[in-house]
Structure 1
Amino acid sequence: MHINPYLFILPCTPGQIVWNYKDHTQHELDLNYSTRLAQLINNPNLFDINNIIDTELLDAQILTTSKIDCPAWGWDELSKIYHIGTQNIPCEHTPQNIQEWSRQYLEHCTEVLATSPAAPVRADHSPRDLIALPALAALNNDSFRNALMQRKTCRSFTGAAISLQDVGTLLYLTLGYLRERDSACDPSIAEGLSARRSSPSGGGLNACNGFLLVQHVDGLAPGVYAYHPAEHALSFVDQLPSEPLGNLLAGQHFINNLPLGLFITARLDRLWWKYQHSRAYRMAFVEAGHLSQTFQLVATALGMNTWLTGAFADDQVEALLKTSGSAEQPLFFVGCGASDGQAMCQEMRDLLQVAQP
Structure 2
Amino acid sequence: MKLRRTRSLIGYWHEGEFVLEDYLTTKSSDVEEDNAVVIDETALLLLHRFDDWTDPESVLDALPDYDPESVREAIGALAEAGLLHTPEQAQREDHLAEEWANWNEEARFFHFGTKDAVYIGDDDEHRTAAAAVALESGPPPAVFKSYPDAPRVRLPRAFLPLRRDFDDVLLARRTHREFTGDPVTLRELATVLHYTFGPMYFVDAREYGTLMMRTSPGGGARHEIEAYVGVLNVEGVAPGLYHYNVEQHALELVDPDFTAQDVDRLGFGQQMAVTAGFVTFLTALVSRAAYKYRHPRTLRMILLDAGHLAQTFALVSTATGLGPFQTAAFRDSEVEAALGIDGISETALYLIGAGHPSGPVDGHPIDMSVAAAPR
TM-score normalised by structure 2 residue count: 0.79
Which among 102, 105, 123 is matched to residue 127 of structure 2? 105
What does residue 201 of structure 1 align with? 218
Question: Does residue 1:220 correspond to 2:237, yes or no?
Answer: yes
Which amino acid counterpart does residue 266 of structure 1 have in structure 2? A
1:27 corresponding residue in structure 2: 37
Structure 1 segment 319-334 matched on structure 2, within 5 A: 319-334=337-352
Answer yes or no: is 1:114 the counterpart of 2:136: yes
Q: Are 1:50 and 2:70 an aligned pair? A: yes
- Which position in structure 1 is the counterpart of 2:264? 246
Which residue, 79, 82, 98 being the options, matches 1:61?
A: 82
SS in 1 for 2:275: coil
CA distance in 2: counterparts of 1:54 and 1:136, whole angstroms: 72
Alignment match of 1:158 (pick from 180, 184, 197): 180
CA distance in 2, matches of 1:57, 1:140: 62
Preserved CA contact (<8 Å) 1:227 1:235: yes
Picking from 99, 107, 112, the partner of 1:73 is 99
Which runs of at least 4 in structure 1 moved beyond 6 Å after TM superposition?
Answer: 11-15
Give, as a single letter, the amino acid of the residue that structure 1 aligns with 2:12.
L
Residues 268 and 327, structure 1, Cα contact 8 Å, conserved in 2? yes
| Alpha-carbon separation, structure 1, partners of 2:312 and 2:89 | 47
| Backbone CA RMSD of aligned residues | 2.9
Distance in 1 of aligned mates of 2:343 and 2:111: 24
- Residue of structure 1 in register with 2:115 after alignment: 87
Shift of 1:15: 6.7
Q: Which runs of 5+ in 2 are unaligned?
A: 26-33, 61-68, 368-375
Q: Identity percentage over the alignment?
A: 26
Cα deviation, 1:117-139, whole Å, max 9, x if unaligned, reads 3334545x226644322104222
Aligned partners of 1:271, 1:3: CA distance in 2, in Å? 36
1:331, distance to aligned residue in structure 2 (A): 1.2
Deviations 1:72-106 (CA, angstroms, capped at 9, x unpaired): 423323222222112210x3xx77xx88x343234
Taking structure 1 as reference, are residues 76 and 128 closer, same or farther at Cα in structure 2, changes over 3 Å only? closer
> Per the alignment, do residues 56 and 210 of structure 1 end up closer, same or farther by CA in structure 2, a change over 3 Å counting?
same
Q: In structure 2, what residue type is equivalent to 1:73?
A: E
Shift of 1:194: 2.2
Which string of whole-angstrom CA distances, capped at 9 and with x for unpartnered residues, describes residues 2-33 of structure 1? 32232123378987432222345223433222
Report if the CA contact (8 A) 2:333-2:343 is conserved.
no
SS of 2:137's equivalent in the other structure is: coil
Q: Do the aligned partners of 2:150 and 2:252 also contact (CA within 8 Å) in 1?
A: no
Aligned counterparts of 2:210 and 2:170: Cα–Cα separation in 1: 30
1: CA distance, partners of 2:327 / 2:184: 20
Between the aligned partners of 1:284 and 1:128, the Cα distance in structure 2 is 27
Give 5+ residue unaligned stretches, structure 1: 350-357
- Deviates most, 226-235 or 194-203: 226-235
- Where 1:271 maps in the other structure, the secondary structure is helix
